[in-house]
Amino acid sequence: MMSADRENHDMTQTDIALLLADAADGVEIGIAPVQAVIRGGRRRRARRWAVAAATTLVLAGSTGATLAFAGLPGERADRGTPTAPGPASAEERHVYRPQRTELARGTEHGRQWRVWVEVWGAPRDAREADRQFAAMKRSGVRPAVDKAAGLVGKTSYFSMRAYGDGRSLVVMFDTHQRTDRLTGTDLMAAAVSLEEVGPTAPERLVVGHVAKSAREVTCRWKDGRSTVARPAGSAPAAQDGTSLIRPVAGYPGGNWFVCLAPEGTVYEDAHVTR
């Protein structure tokens, strides 16, 4: 990825491979980037953050904003909100079964596609963490920690997409004690293929999150066209692939959005435009 403000992360392909290793057969893990682009903001600190299937990761923020990456072992976010105390039982806290929010769905070439986010509640002790780790493995996802003990006190989220009868694809994921609250025009997004996975696959599907105050996200495509996503509230995802911004159950850090490029073009960039 390139831009006028290109900066390299210290995350190597080996780092990424370790994070993504042992993913279950039911979920496909694609190519992760080692660079990030920050537009419209000054970098104070950039932390490594797991983006599973993207070949493009874009971070955008208002001037002077801190956009910290949280969730890797031994790291803490500079700006965030501690996980709020929840109901007493692990089941009510969604420790073993995540909360799932569908962001978008549609049909292309007779095949249905959909995008969703699942949020796993924070285990309170080693026993809960062991059970959650096993439940994640059964469901085909792997958190951003290498051992079950690393889940204690941390929330995990996964954004995913499915196309037709193919395997689900993890787009972005993270495991953290503190949830970064995006503000202003902060934006974090990944662009992936709607169908196949690979370094040459067309990146038409954009999934990301923005501040709760964001009223409009504009995704621009290489051919000069653009798609605008606007808030949809908590209404169910439309069946026509409409680009929308919506809240995700269990995720307080911001709202999520999806844009899909028309066939024949690919992702250029994305910005909060209102």
d(Cα 179, Cα 195) in Å, to the nearest integer?
30
Asked whether the beta carbons of 245 and 257 are under 8 A apart, the reply is: yes
What's the pLDDT band for 74 if we cut at 50, 70, 90? very low
Asked whether the beta carbons of 11 and 152 are under 8 A apart, the reply is: no
Say what the alpha-carbon torsion angle 225, 231, 235, 236 is, to the nearest 10 degrees: 30
What's the pLDDT band for 183 if we cut at 50, 70, 90? very high
- Residue 91 CB-density burial (10 A; 0-12 exposed, 13-18 middle, 19+ buried): exposed
Residue 28 pLDDT: 46
Mean pLDDT score, 108-122: 94
Global confidence as pTM: 0.73
Query: Does residue 155 register a pLDDT over 60?
Result: yes
pLDDT, tens digit (0-9, with 9 covering 90-100), for 125-134? 999 999 999 9
Cα 180–Cα 182–Cα 183 angle in degrees, nearest 5:
140
Q: Give the highest mean pLDDT range of 14-18, 82-86, 99-103, 179-183.
A: 99-103
Least confident of 68-72, 76-80, 144-148, 194-198: 68-72
Beta-bridged to residue 7, according to DSSP, are 36
Q: Give the highest mean pLDDT range of 20-34, 86-100, 117-131, 159-173.
A: 117-131
Residue 168 pLDDT: 86
How many CB atoms sit inside 10 A of residue 72's CB? 19
Sequence ranges of the domains in the chain: 7-272
Averaged confidence pLDDT in the chain: 75
The sheet with strand 267-272 has its strands ordered as 7-8, 35-39, 56-60, 187-192, 205-210, 255-260, 244-246, 226-231, 217-221, 267-272
Q: Give the rounded percent of residues in the chain with a pLDDT score beyond 70.
A: 66
Residue 238 pLDDT: 66
Residue 180 pLDDT: 79
Asked whether the beta carbons of 58 and 189 are under 8 A apart, the reply is: yes
Residue 29 pLDDT: 44
Cα separations (Å) of 70 from 63, 139, 236? Answer: 20, 23, 29
pLDDT, tens digit (0-9, with 9 covering 90-100), for 209-256? 999 999 999 999 999 999 999 998 766 666 777 788 999 999 999 999
